[in-house]
Amino acid sequence: MTGWNAADIPEQYGRTFVVTGANSGLGEVATAALAAAGGTVVMACRDEKKATEVAQRIGDRVLVRHLDLADLGSVREFAASMGPIDVLINNAGVMAVPFRQTADGFEMQIGTNHLGHFALTGLLIDRISDRVVTLSSDAHNWGSVDLDDLNWERRSYNRWRAYGASKVANLLFTYELQRKLTAAGSSVISVAAHPGYAATGLQSNTESILDRVMWLGNKLIAQSAEMGALPELYAATAVGVTGGSYYGPDGIRQMRGYPKRVGSNAESRDQELAAALWARSEELTGVRYPV
């Protein structure tokens, strides 16, 4: 896959993708690339006005639908409106925001990045024919999942550790979903991807002085959103992608470059923790998977 880029995406005519958080950054780039390859893309976004503006620039192969991953009622409404899907790309996320809670009382980062996508995937899984791609981050090395305090109700809140925990959760979910799909004899696969250090709006929403620092980092160090989106596009479309795999950039420390298969830390591979997080996620969201 050396040097794989958007021009290498196979034709996607007749295929339907759902991309969460598609109105900016990696999601917008992925949407444009999939539509250019012939796919139909449902842009699942909280900001419908901004998403509509993006959709108008991309063309008539995209549809805008409202989805707020921080509100399980919105997740259920969106899922109920969907028909058959080939690929779900769990792309949306928030990073290092101050402590706040979702509409359902979850800490915002675990609630949006993990629980919202957990619920969405479970509600759609019986309509997905090919793949589930979930975005994680190298920041999964910065945090740890605490099942006894998943929503930071007892610990002193640390925004970066909370972000890292949500990214570990994304990987635990990806790998556990693949084990369940395999056990059920399903041909659907679950894979993960991360963008390295890519210049997107994610870094400008921490509501802290770090927004300015990361803005400068985006200008001087980060690769483009177009490059950052390649691992998720590879995971979503390339021939030969296998379930339970993880893709990121091929450069130094996986910060930039073209997509390749990469590894993840020991906690993300802990099957006992993954099963326990799955059970806790079902309990919190009320979503039970049919696999």
Catalytic residue annotation: 163
Hey, how many other C-beta atoms are within 10 angstroms of the C-beta on 11? 10
Count the helix, strand and coil residues of the chain and give each as a percent rounded to the nearest 5: 45, 15, 35
Distances (CA, A) of 202 to 64, 210, 212: 21, 12, 12
**DSSP letter assigned to residue 197:** S
The enclosing H or E element of 76 equals helix 72-81
Residue 165 amino acid letter = A
The angle formed by the CA atoms of residues 149, 105 and 136, to the nearest 5 degrees, is 65
What span, in angstroms and rounded, lies between the C-alpha atoms of 164 and 175? 17
3-class DSSP assignment, residue 158: coil
- Within 8 A by CB and 6+ apart from 142, the residues are 160, 161, 163, 164, 167
